[in-house]
Structure 1
Amino acid sequence: MSEDENAGESRAGRYADPAENPYVVDPPTDFEPVEDLSEAEAETQAKHLREAIREHDYWYYVEADPIVSDATYDALFDRLVELEETFDIQTPESPTQRVGGEPIEELETVEHAAAMLSIDQTTDAEDVREFDERVHRELETAGFDPNTIGYVCEPKFDGLSIEVVYEDGEYVRAATRGNGASGDDVTEQVRTIRAVPQRLRGDRDRVPSFLSVRGEVYIPREAFNEYNRERQERGEEPFANPRNAAAGTLRQLDPSVVADRPLNVFFFDVLAWEADGEEPERPETRWEDLSAIAEFGLRKNDRDELVDDIEEAIAYRDRLQEERDELDYEIDGTVIKVNDLEACELLGATSRSYRWAFAYKFPPRTETTTVEDIVVQVGRTGRLTPVALLDPVDIGGVTVSRATLHNPAEIETLNVNVGDVVRVYRAGDVIPYIPAVVETRTEGAYEFPDTCPVCDSPVEYEGPNAYCTGGLGCPAQLERAVEHWARREALDIEGVGPETVAQLREAGLVESLPDLYRLDREALVDLEGWGETSAENLLAELEASKEPSLPEFLAALGIPEVGATTARNLAEHFETLDALLEASESELQAVDDVGETVASEIREFLDSERNRETIATLRDLGVGPEPYGTDEAREGTELEGLTFVFTGTLSVPRSEAETLIERHGGNVTGSVSGNTDYLVVGEDPGTSKRRDAAAHDVETIDGTEFEALLADHGIDWPPA
């Protein structure tokens, strides 16, 4: 028996028994054509595939210990999609239904199976000891031996609390905590989270007929950072922190949007457990509750601990505080719960909180301080971002003197102004921000300027955001535009970083983007800290950047909503800069990843007189892109005729992988279609591209398989 078979047997698939289901261990992926199957054969195969995919989802998303490779999983999933669509045999609980249903008009309100109450909390160890003394005192009064209770200690997650309900082992409902008695119905949104099983593990007689569990939805830190990078590449506002991102995502009215975002969940409490007939009764302790949660296939945290007394609980919190920044999820303390459920019943609850639980929080990462001033910064795309200058305050050992206010709409919502006392939040690498005004000392909110604070051009509003209309003629946009022009993902001009750009601007040498190419050796040598060698190196770098590829040139211009992928798609479609300059909005919308909004942004940028002038002057100075697909831009034709799409994080920046493909004759697009040959899946991938790949029967490969494919074509990886 192979090692994989041993693994499969030891796992004793609860969703799919390896002895009966061929798609659990070492599954075959060379399926016979669907047209050769009878309807009964298709039903049987689909049933096995659903069960096997549930099993693979469990080991991948809950246990983080997958049984099969990503490519094999994708082949099984694609086959299930093919069977369900060909024979019209979709089922509501099928794994294929996780991609999100139809958008809804509003979130309905539903009542919880049991109250979702708050927990009293403190940052003082003495308060925790007083909680323990009260528990002992009240239990003794009730005739219960308090020395036998024990405490369950858990991380206190900083996410969004939800209730998930199963009936006869099937997922039926999910709701936010809301007011504790009822919350928003987010059934379809939560259905898209892979760690939430659509069916509990175990036979029907091994799970309760009704189970309501409490969990916390969150976005892992690494996935949050990657998702923010993607948003910024698209020209969108990044999320301030993982908790807000998770909460906002779960309340999206379109479940397909939720499916595209990297939500995860931990389950930590049983709210209601009803057994009917032969089903198991609820355990007698919370620790056994947690074991049952895990046995049912619900994802629980591996840092839960059962301790004997309150001093061990305090020590647990102190250990977790030291390890806090090593975790891939946000926590703000620990929760201490009485283990014995009978004791919990005796202790009861107040109208708002449980009397058998207490939260011992970490020192706050929020503090209050005064807003000394509000300044408006101008970004590369012209977006105006208000920033609060604060009376410096220590938050978690870091002095914070600035906090983002995001946009004019946020200022109005907070009703914040200079002089107000505000609460400031900081966590890890997240930009400090202001969640609330604590004391209003002014009348009304800060009045956002009507003109750009740098170039005095009029301000235009788009949704919650404000923009300077000055374009590349705005010095602030220019400085960032020059930095953007030279960055690695654009023209990759070494030596043109923020400090150099600022120095060149202050010296009056660069007053427009084309001025970079008017620099001379004598002027550079006269700058402080420069010499002949550094001047000549910069001039050589600039000379080498004069004939970029069309995708590099477009990405370097800083067109709103146009990152590296969209720039490549535009270049592939129009082939020359002149063709793009004259393209209509409808022609732009024919390009992959370019919808109505992006087409409008591109057209507005290219229609700007200042931007047109900048592009024309650059070309007069000899700076212009080669037509896309010219032989000079290619090193070979090994991948000619192949089209690739990427999702997730690779071992190198995605732009480098895309450039490598194109230099060897291949094509890279931003979305999957029937013309795509391979979807390359990295770490923490989104779901939409994988869904589209399944729908279009596109082969999906992981990073290792991508490297092997390149090697088969004689191409080295990673790129030099």
Structure 2
Amino acid sequence: MSALHNTTDIPDEVRARHTELCRELDDHSYRYYLGKPVISDAEYDTLMGELRGIEDSYPQLVTQDSPTQKVGAPISVDFAEVEHLVRMESLGNAFDTEELNAWADRASAEVPVDAYLCELKIDGLAVDLVYERGRLVRAATRGDGRVGEDITLNVRTIDAVPEQLDESVRPAPELLEVRGEVFLPVKEFGELNERITATGEHTPFANPRNAAAGSLRQKDPRVTATRPLSMIVHGVGAYSPASDGVAFTSQSQAYTLLGEWGLPLSDRYRVVDSMAKVRDYVDHYRANRHEPAYEIDGIVIKVDDFGLQRRLGSTSRAPRWAIAYKYPPEEVTTRLVDIKVGVGRTGRVTPYGVMEPVVVAGSEVEFATLHNAQEVARKGVLIGDVVTLRKAGDVIPEIVGPVVERRDGSEREFEMPTHCPECGTELGQQKEGDVDLRCPNARSCPGQLRERVAFIAGRKALDIEALGYVAATALTQPLEPADPPLRDEGDLFDLTVDQLLPIRTHVLDPDTTEPKSDPKTGEPKVVSFFANLKGEPKKTVEKLFEQLEEAKSKPLWRVLVALSIRHVGPRAAEDLARHFRSMDAIRQASEEELAAVDGIGPTIAASIREWFAVDWHAEIVRKWAAAGVRMEDDAPEHGSDLLADVTVVVTGGLEGFTRDSAKEVIAERGGRATSSVSKKTGFVVAGESPGSKYDKAVKLGVPILDEAGFRVLLDEGADAALARRLNPEPEPDEEPAGDQGQAGE
């Protein structure tokens, strides 16, 4: 064999550089695939050229996995089986205090337990992460506890999961295997389902756990990257410390170290010294189950000391040193009295169940979504069935399915109507293959117009508090003696007091859009919404006109949201406003120009072009502009890219900003305002009573700014804000420290 092909002749430094380049180029290819590149094409080409040069000189280093052999290949997840380094055990369950006490008695009879760690049992998907010398090399599902499926590429899209451990406090271990729960926060779950139902992509997810599991099992990591997944670490498997590292001695001490390395931890775990305090913790979250941002189904209690854990050991199925206290599921049964349909602001007609009222998750529920006719058929529910109902946090109540054994033969099938329940127009698919039926009478359908006007008033749009659901109904519902003053939302800013005073309206239930009944007569309740008994304007009328006037000066992105363009939510609207800065520029942009905007893409671009192509849509914009609604953002004083690529989280109360106005000034400067803290967060702005986001920023080492620092960030940029944070100027009335001053901390 020639020296050229003898692997023993490759210098160690060349072999090491080849390995480093392969890893780095794979990482950059992956980020480019996700649409989140961190280097330029030229820099990428330079690295690739260096790798080709090494492989030309040492062809024995070339393998099919080399980046030189797979440039441009699609990235996908194949869910290959992988074996966990240490088995992932299941937990035993306790369903009442007696079973919990029995577990504690068994443990304390064998070892002297003086500390228990209590933490929330997140209802998510268990995941195993492996780090080698601080770098994430593998992520896998739990599987059967010994073998799971490789989901590394998908887990790498989760912001909370660090790809490289933070070594600023102590060196990363040689090997670290950690376990945790991937979940979808309840609020984000609701927003995800809203997007899914609005686009008709597929059936909405049943619950946050299913959404998390479905997101992690996407073949295309780009899909996973669009889902707002998060993760919390709650255990350790294999562990080999660095040469100067420390051993884990307890669960709580391990959490401290994991937090120093930047791994995501709960801020709600507690170490307590008695079972009485364990029961207090269990009782607290039983009563405050929906306090966390994610769903929980119980509490996990662990013996804190690792030495005691080893002495207690495990059964064939579960550790003896831990137990899960399970809360009863938040499901109830009730009678499905009827299935009706409602029409939304985009014309989508949605079935919903009308049930005998029942209390679930602490509130009385009478209505629940059924999404679409296919979902009704899939669940197999009949009108008259006894059904199982579930409600989690603030998520809309959902019918899980029928209790078939309680049928008596009187039940009947639901038939999806063929015509709109609000205007009588024949329903149809917006495009071939849609699972949803829509009312095509977009402009004149009273139901669609009512929902659009109510949406305009919402916090995500123009935030007009006086224009609530009843007012939106009054302005759009035809009812004698006067026709409604709004032909479409284009007339909203031209309203007059004289138009409002004659209006009488039904009071509709916002959950069902059905008129509420008068308790005395049983007939639909009719009220004069804008006039008092003397026929004079109510105080709410003055407030409405004041707020309509204020709404005219709202930033461009809010106006875009208020137009109800399909797929254009707040984030897309912010991206559009930041790029084009005027409604005219957006209206005149080609589909290709729109799609090229960061965060937009072809689907949203096509939707925008379709919307502006409709004459009465364009007329809405013309009328609003004529009425004085802001159609162009001023050029930012410091340039629109001052905070480009900077992510900012605002927490706590600020004296000079509301939460929304803080988001707006960040966006005006090209930054992104998000709600969760991760290692990738640029700054956390902490006002009064900042809460857990402040604590997480401290743990992760994210720069924290007060309000004065925030203003520096907005005026001068990230470097100036960092400099001020590190070297704050003395207050005007302070004396600079002299030679006798105390040494700085």
The TM-score bracket by the shorter chain reads 0.5 to 0.7
Is 1:127 paired with 2:91? Answer: no
Question: Helix, strand or coil for the counterpart of 2:350?
Answer: strand
Q: Measured at CA, do residues 129 and 552 of structure 1 come closer, stay the same or move farther in structure 2, by a change above 3 Å?
A: closer
Question: Helix, strand or coil for the counterpart of 2:233?
Answer: strand
**Match of 1:26?**
none
Out of 409, 421, 424, the position equivalent to 1:453 is: 421
**Match of 2:121?**
156
The size of the alignment, in residue pairs, is: 593
Distance 2:319 2:378 in 1: 33
Indicate conservation of the 8 Å contact 2:389/2:400, yes or no. Answer: yes
| Structure 1 letter corresponding to 2:88 | M
Question: Helix, strand or coil for the counterpart of 1:316?
Answer: helix
Is 1:526 paired with 2:502? Answer: yes
Indicate conservation of the 8 Å contact 2:383/2:412, yes or no. Answer: no
Is 1:707 paired with 2:675? Answer: no
Indicate conservation of the 8 Å contact 1:485/1:557, yes or no. Answer: yes
**Match of 2:218?**
252
Is 1:501 paired with 2:465? Answer: no
Q: Measured at CA, do residues 128 and 464 of structure 1 come closer, stay the same or move farther in structure 2, by a change above 3 Å?
A: farther
Q: Deviations over 1:95-148 (max 9, x none)?
A: xxxxxx964154333333344343332431122233345657xx7xxxxx3555
Indicate conservation of the 8 Å contact 1:213/1:267, yes or no. Answer: yes
- State percent identity of aligned pairs: 35
**Match of 1:557?**
563
| Structure 2 letter corresponding to 1:707 | R
Q: Measured at CA, do residues 262 and 493 of structure 1 come closer, stay the same or move farther in structure 2, by a change above 3 Å?
A: closer
* TM-score of the aligned structures, taking structure 2 as reference length: 0.62
**Match of 1:359?**
324
**Match of 1:116?**
88
Out of 322, 328, 346, the position equivalent to 1:381 is: 346
1:407 deviates by 4.2
Indicate conservation of the 8 Å contact 2:361/2:393, yes or no. Answer: no
Question: Helix, strand or coil for the counterpart of 2:297?
Answer: strand
Q: Measured at CA, do residues 515 and 102 of structure 1 come closer, stay the same or move farther in structure 2, by a change above 3 Å?
A: same
Indicate conservation of the 8 Å contact 1:259/1:688, yes or no. Answer: no
Indicate conservation of the 8 Å contact 2:159/2:680, yes or no. Answer: no
Out of 142, 150, 175, the position equivalent to 2:140 is: 175
More deviation, 644-653/79-88: 79-88
Distance 2:119 2:630 in 1: 59
1:476 deviates by 0.9
**Match of 1:372?**
337
| Structure 1 letter corresponding to 2:422 | V
Two-structure CA RMSD over aligned residues (Å): 5.5
Distance 1:316 1:621 in 2: 54
Indicate conservation of the 8 Å contact 1:174/1:186, yes or no. Answer: yes
Question: Helix, strand or coil for the counterpart of 1:368?
Answer: strand
Distance 2:441 2:502 in 1: 31
Indicate conservation of the 8 Å contact 1:235/1:560, yes or no. Answer: no
More deviation, 228-237/508-517: 228-237
Distance 2:716 2:580 in 1: 29
1:208 deviates by 7.2
**Match of 1:512?**
487
Is 1:215 paired with 2:180? Answer: yes
Q: Deviations over 1:629-681 (max 9, x none)?
A: 5xxx86x98457867768656575787578779xxxxx95xxxxxxxx74355
Distance 1:200 1:622 in 2: 52
1:500 deviates by 1.5
* Structure 2, unaligned runs of 5 or more: 1-12, 25-36, 52-72, 504-527, 683-702, 718-745
Out of 185, 209, 219, the position equivalent to 2:150 is: 185
**Match of 2:370?**
405
* Structure 1, unaligned runs of 5 or more: 1-38, 51-76, 91-100, 140-144, 662-666, 669-676, 691-699, 714-720
| Structure 2 letter corresponding to 1:113 | L
**Match of 1:268?**
234
Indicate conservation of the 8 Å contact 2:177/2:237, yes or no. Answer: yes
Distance 2:673 2:274 in 1: 47
Distance 1:518 1:294 in 2: 56
Distance 1:488 1:284 in 2: 49
Distance 1:657 1:554 in 2: 19
Q: Deviations over 1:397-443 (max 9, x none)?
A: 32222233344554454344434444333333233334455547589
**Match of 1:423?**
388
Distance 2:291 2:240 in 1: 38
Q: Measured at CA, do residues 263 and 355 of structure 1 come closer, stay the same or move farther in structure 2, by a change above 3 Å?
A: same
Q: Measured at CA, do residues 391 and 275 of structure 1 come closer, stay the same or move farther in structure 2, by a change above 3 Å?
A: same
Out of 281, 304, 319, the position equivalent to 1:316 is: 281
**Match of 1:19?**
none
1:459 deviates by 2.7
**Match of 1:331?**
296
1:215 deviates by 1.3
**Match of 2:355?**
390
Indicate conservation of the 8 Å contact 1:415/1:446, yes or no. Answer: no
